[in-house]
Amino acid sequence: MLNKSLKIGIVCPYGWDTPGGVQNHVRDLAEFLIAAGHQVSVLAPVIDESAVPDYVVSAGKPLAIPYNGAVARILFGPIAFARVRQWIAGGEFDILHLHEPAIPSISLLACWAAEGPMVGTFHAAAKKQKAIFAIGPILEPVIEKLSARIAVSEAARSTLTEHLETDAVVIPNGIYASRYTNGTPQERWMGNTLGFIGRFEEPRKGLSILMDALPIVARFAPDVRVFVAGPGESDDFIKSIDPQLRGRLEFLGRISEEDKANFLASISLYIAPNTGGESFGIILAEALAGGAAVIASDIPAFDSLLGGGRFGELFSSEDSTDLAKRIIDLLRDDNRRKALARAGKSHAAQFDWDVVAEQIFSIYEMSMVGGTGVRLASENRSWNPLRAREASSAE
């Protein structure tokens, strides 16, 4: 991976302290690059500066705003812009890697503030009327500054094309597949068991769809149990469930990476009933790597990741009856379930960081050809989010 050690600046738009796919991607990429001998600095909004790794620089505390069916913790404004400029000026970076530079956050600010080799990675998959991409007329001249654009899936690429009329090369999110491939089955999670990992309080994660399917499943698999791992307060959720089904449900809270590997090796089926707003599905890739047979909603990102059903079973999104049928069918057919798990595990190898990081590095190399490193853009002397648009109009 390149003989020369590079100084790489990575910008994470979302609060570092908050669990999320983009934060996980940035963290894993940064640590992979550091392990490969590169100097990496990550700029991110941070709530608790004492709890971040040495390579993370705080841009300030984020604010919570509703976005794409969830709550995004982002940072924007003149104070953040000054901190972004200070970080760029002191970094002497060979290249900047900006994640989600098309939403109002510090990635967009960095794109305004800098010149030179810059790569943007786009994660979001959202409907046009709901997306922050609505400020496209301001974004377009800024996004044009990017040397290269990456989308983490075809769904993210389509969103980018629709909103900003530009294209990107598709490079998937990465996972450390080896962390999940040798999990040890645990008796407490074995049997006719269904697993779910995620922020279950968010409606778009679809846990309610699984709960609606459970009464049907229980009629045909009387010993079925559901294990839910991830952050959130379970008490209110449990109160909303039929009392006769509560005994089948167990909330595990956050689990370690080791426990996650063991969990995925133990359960009969991993269920991903998400209703939308997903651009890739890191946990799906991890579930496949862990050897779990997967059932997922047929939203575009999951359909693509699972090869249209070759590497995991798909059900009609938000249709709990269809989900129940597919769960029952796979619980009854051990051979098909195990074959699906084997195919998925093999498929997951392409998402390993050893593969994904090399693809990202090829984009870095292309972006740096003939470049002189990253520097502050001379026109960005003060805070003015419209300056890029004005300058573009004057050309």
Taking the model in full, what pTM does it have? 0.85
In DSSP notation, 217-232 reads HHHH-TT-EEEEESSS
Q: What is the DSSP letter of 17?
A: T
Dihedral sign computed on CA atoms, order 54, 58, 63, 65: negative
Residue 292's SS3 state is: coil
Residue 3: the pLDDT is: 58
pLDDT of residue 246: 87
In whole angstroms, what is the distance from residue 325 CA to residue 213 CA?
9
Provide the 3-class DSSP secondary structure of residue 283.
helix
pLDDT tens-digit map of 133-145:
445 566 777 788 9
* Low pLDDT (below 70) residues in the chain: 1-3, 67-70, 126-138, 379-395
CA distance linking residue 307 with residue 324, whole number of Å: 21
What phi, psi does 324 have (nearest 5°)? -60, -45
**Domains along the sequence of the chain with CATH:** 7-174+352-394 (3.40.50.2000), 177-350 (3.40.50.2000)
> Looking at residue 312, what is its pLDDT?
97
Three-state SS letters, 57-115: EECCCCEEEEECCEEEEECCCHHHHHHHHHHHHHHCCCEEEEECCCCCCHHHHHHHHEE
Nearest CA to 183 out of 343, 285, 292, 271 is that of: 292
| pLDDT at residue 389, as a whole number | 46
Partners of 56 in the beta sheet? 42
Specify whether the CB–CB gap between 149 and 169 falls below 8 A.
yes
* CA gap 288, 294 in Å, rounded: 7
Render pLDDT for 111-122 as a digit per residue (tens, 0 to 9): 999 999 999 999
pLDDT of residue 136: 59
Q: Determine the pLDDT at residue 395.
A: 40
